[in-house]
Structure 1
Amino acid sequence: MIESWRWYGEIDPISLDEIAQTGASGIVSALHQIPYGAVWPRDAIAARRARIRGAGFDWVVVESLPVHERIKQGAGDLAPLFANYRQSMANLAAEGVRTICYNFMPLLDWTRTDLAAPVPGGATCLRFDAVRMAAFDIHLLLRPDAEADWPDATCAQARAWIGAGSPAEREALCAAIMSGMPGAVDRYDTDGLRRALADYDGIDAAALRANLKRFLAEVVPTADELGLRLCIHPDDPPRDILGLPRVVSTASDLDWVMGAEDSPANGLTLCSGSLGAHPDADLPAIAARFAPRIHFAHLRNVRKEPDGSFEEAAHLDGDTDMVALIAVLLAERSRRRAEGRPDADIPFRPDHGHHMLSDRSRDLIPGYPLIGRLRGLAELRGVIRALEHGGLERVKGIEPSS
């Protein structure tokens, strides 16, 4: 497995020199300055790759090459957007960057209600609180019929939270939810978000799935020709948000995506936190089921609550058996090596992390601290080394698909 680190380029407060001290060898990056839907110029890709290589790393994964919202909506003449996406893929391939992570989440990427929830010991973490999300949806966004999407008990708690919450707490909630994915181009206030949501009126799960199928049909054959690997990122959280459908949340969803274009180029980013936030998720079993199509892994852990809330746990804590999950990935690596596959070693990165120690005084991208991810990488590295040293034989009952 290839130890990797997400770096946001020039907008990242964490430098490549600092990342070098983590021991990671791969960089996961993207050209966040380019608007969604525009072509990534080859010279810009070459410049980013040269900077990464000059610091002693390989650019192992693009995360992300964003999918334009109109593609997700199936709106208007999409031929130019598909052509631009394919050209960006060709430019990446020409510069030797061959693994592309993307997602198909409408409008918002990962969604949290708290960017600095306290954890024991004084650190903070990202948190999704179902009651606060319902409070935002029903009482701050004022989305029509929002109450119908939430259990009665959650609605009652949301009313109580709004009644007791201060203006500062409401503002912090809005800011957290509007953050979307760090590095995203668009930001919304509540009025702007309402307008953006209106563009998805009438788009249910079936329509979104049809638009995803069309996207895959447009880009996967090109990926095959170029020798690229596309790997879809699961929904985060794995549930409908603000009335928007989500269709990459469960193992059955992944079955559908992989079958929509049955090609090795149509693969998966195994995000143990996104999939693991679903109440029915069994991450080692999911990894075993889709092992041949896993091209990239985000390894993190979450601790779930009965009402659908969850928070980021330390990498070896939480509800996912990380040792068993890594054992599946190592078994898949062995299978690929036996076949002589060049992609036997799967890039992975420690995803998210607690904000702790001196990181608390730095202005860092939420979820992407230096020390918390370094702790996670060190723990994951230890698990990998232990399993490679013979522990893999003692993890029984889960074998990757053939």
Structure 2
Amino acid sequence: MNMTFRWFGRGNDTVQLEHVKQIPGVKGIVWGLHQKAVGEVWEKHEIESEVNYIRSFGFHADVVESVNIHESIKLGNAERSRYIENYKQTIRNLGGFGVKVICYNFMPIFDWTRSELFRALPDGSTSMFYEKEKVENRDPQELIETFSNYSDFTLPGWEPEKIGRIKELFAAYRELTEEDLWNNLAYFLYEILPVAEEAGIKMAIHPDDPPWSIFGLPRIITGKESLERLQKISDSPSNGITFCTGSLGSNSDNNIVELAADFAERSPFTHIRNIKIFENGDFIETSHLSSDGSLDIKGVVKVLSDSQYDGYVRPDHGRHIWGEKCRPGYGLYDRALGIMHLLGLWDAYQTVKQEGK
């Protein structure tokens, strides 16, 4: 298990790499050029600058999250060829600097959705919260305004250039079905996977968050059947999955331990977090402890240990604790606690295996 930590870059994150360096067991930084407009080529000098900075702290820079997909590609419109060519060049450029995995998603318009960014938990911490009824009965423009007020840092999936075209985008997606979206994903993969193979990069699609339709938009990466269908699109070794316990697990029909066993081999990248699911479909993000949420985090790590998983892992969203002022879900303290919990589970399971118990 190759433990990593997501970081949003110099000037775009409260977390400093000299502090991440003090977390035992962290080998790499998951990074991206978050100030780049979606669809632009990531230029070599930009990549080199960020990679060299990360490596100066002793970390690897093997994983990028995310090279976002332009809406024209998801819609399959006349402009997609230009943006696919840009994406191919970005893959080539990243491969030239040793990147091994690119995380991406294929969610229309919104990469992730919550109704609150700082919901209070009983212990006094706060975390991101999804109130199902509020989202289902809310004008997406209101949600956009809520998130736009959090303007200190870029929020991945809520880029300003996208938000400024929100009405236009909703109109474009009005007639797009799930089958259309699958076809557009397949077209994209047929185009970019040969380039990824040549560059030595595995593409790892992130599940939809949450894994069901919101605001009438199609969602397609939602559970076992969809992950199996993804694999059938191409048997390329570069056609992979970002296995995210929180995204998949927010649908209680998804058994994340069974899914981990089924798909760990095709998941070069794994996000681990816990959530508490309520009977009405709401969910809130919790600590990584299995007992604090609804997901069997211990079971997932055991599956990874049993399979001697050598892919990249990171703690996913954390709570906001000890008065930390940070990007929603991405503070230093709770993710550091999450890392120590995950590595503790891994070490314990590995010891039991080695001792033959």
In structure 2, the CA distance between the partners of 1:173 and 1:80, relative to structure 1 (3 Å rule), is: closer
In the alignment, structure 1 segments of 5+ residues that lack a partner are 142-170, 334-343, 396-402
CA positional deviation for 1:392: 8.7
CA positional deviation for 1:135: 3.2
Q: Which amino acid aligns with 2:311?
A: I
Matches of residues 187-266 of structure 1 in structure 2 within 5 Å?
A: 187=160, 192-266=165-239
Determine whether 1:329 maps to 2:304.
yes
Matches of residues 262-341 of structure 1 in structure 2 within 5 Å?
A: 262-316=235-289, 317-333=292-308
- Determine which of 334, 337, 353 is the counterpart of 1:372: 334
More moved, 77-86 vs 368-377: 77-86
Q: Which amino acid aligns with 2:320?
A: H
For 1:289 and 1:29, how far apart are their aligned partners in 2? 27
Paired position in structure 2 for 1:144: none
More moved, 183-192 vs 228-237: 183-192
Paired position in structure 2 for 1:98: 100
For 1:181 and 1:300, how far apart are their aligned partners in 2? 22
In structure 2, the CA distance between the partners of 1:394 and 1:199, relative to structure 1 (3 Å rule), is: farther
Q: Is the 8 A contact 2:38 2:68 kept in 1?
A: yes
For 1:393 and 1:121, how far apart are their aligned partners in 2? 38
For 2:264 and 2:156, how far apart are their aligned partners in 1? 29
Q: Is the 8 A contact 2:2 2:313 kept in 1?
A: yes
Matches of residues 122-141 of structure 1 in structure 2 within 5 Å?
A: 122-137=124-139, 141=141
For 1:53 and 1:189, how far apart are their aligned partners in 2? 32
Paired position in structure 2 for 1:348: 313
Q: Is the 8 A contact 2:112 2:157 kept in 1?
A: no
For 1:354 and 1:68, how far apart are their aligned partners in 2? 30
Matches of residues 81-96 of structure 1 in structure 2 within 5 Å?
A: 81-96=83-98
SS in 1 for 2:83: helix
CA positional deviation for 1:321: 1.0
Q: Which amino acid aligns with 1:3?
A: M
Q: Which amino acid aligns with 2:116?
A: D
Tell me the alpha carbon deviations over residues 137-169 of structure 1, each in whole angstroms, 9 at most, x when there is no partner: 3xx75xxxxxxxxxxxxxxxxxxxxxxxxxxxx
Determine whether 1:7 maps to 2:46.
no
More moved, 227-236 vs 182-191: 182-191
Paired position in structure 2 for 1:161: none
For 2:106 and 2:69, how far apart are their aligned partners in 1? 7
- RMSD over aligned Cα atoms: 2.3
Paired position in structure 2 for 1:59: 61
In structure 2, the CA distance between the partners of 1:202 and 1:379, relative to structure 1 (3 Å rule), is: same
Q: Is the 8 A contact 1:269 1:295 kept in 2?
A: yes
For 2:154 and 2:130, how far apart are their aligned partners in 1? 14
In structure 2, the CA distance between the partners of 1:185 and 1:307, relative to structure 1 (3 Å rule), is: closer
For 1:177 and 1:128, how far apart are their aligned partners in 2? 17
TM-score, normalised to structure 1, is 0.82
In structure 2, the CA distance between the partners of 1:308 and 1:185, relative to structure 1 (3 Å rule), is: closer
In structure 2, the CA distance between the partners of 1:281 and 1:328, relative to structure 1 (3 Å rule), is: same
In structure 2, the CA distance between the partners of 1:331 and 1:264, relative to structure 1 (3 Å rule), is: farther
CA positional deviation for 1:299: 0.4
Matched residue count: 351
CA positional deviation for 1:77: 3.5
CA positional deviation for 1:391: 6.1
In structure 2, the CA distance between the partners of 1:178 and 1:110, relative to structure 1 (3 Å rule), is: farther
In structure 2, the CA distance between the partners of 1:393 and 1:221, relative to structure 1 (3 Å rule), is: farther
TM-score, normalised to structure 2, is 0.92
Tell me the alpha carbon deviations over residues 245-303 of structure 1, each in whole angstroms, 9 at most, x when there is no partner: 00001110101111111122100000000000012011111111112211000000111
Q: Which amino acid aligns with 2:178?
A: A
Q: Which amino acid aligns with 2:313?
A: F
Seq. identity, %: 36
Q: Is the 8 A contact 1:45 1:95 kept in 2?
A: yes
CA positional deviation for 1:185: 6.2
Q: Is the 8 A contact 1:35 1:185 kept in 2?
A: no
For 1:17 and 1:40, how far apart are their aligned partners in 2? 26
In structure 2, the CA distance between the partners of 1:44 and 1:300, relative to structure 1 (3 Å rule), is: same
In the alignment, structure 2 segments of 5+ residues that lack a partner are none
For 1:189 and 1:47, how far apart are their aligned partners in 2? 26
Q: Is the 8 A contact 2:41 2:89 kept in 1?
A: yes
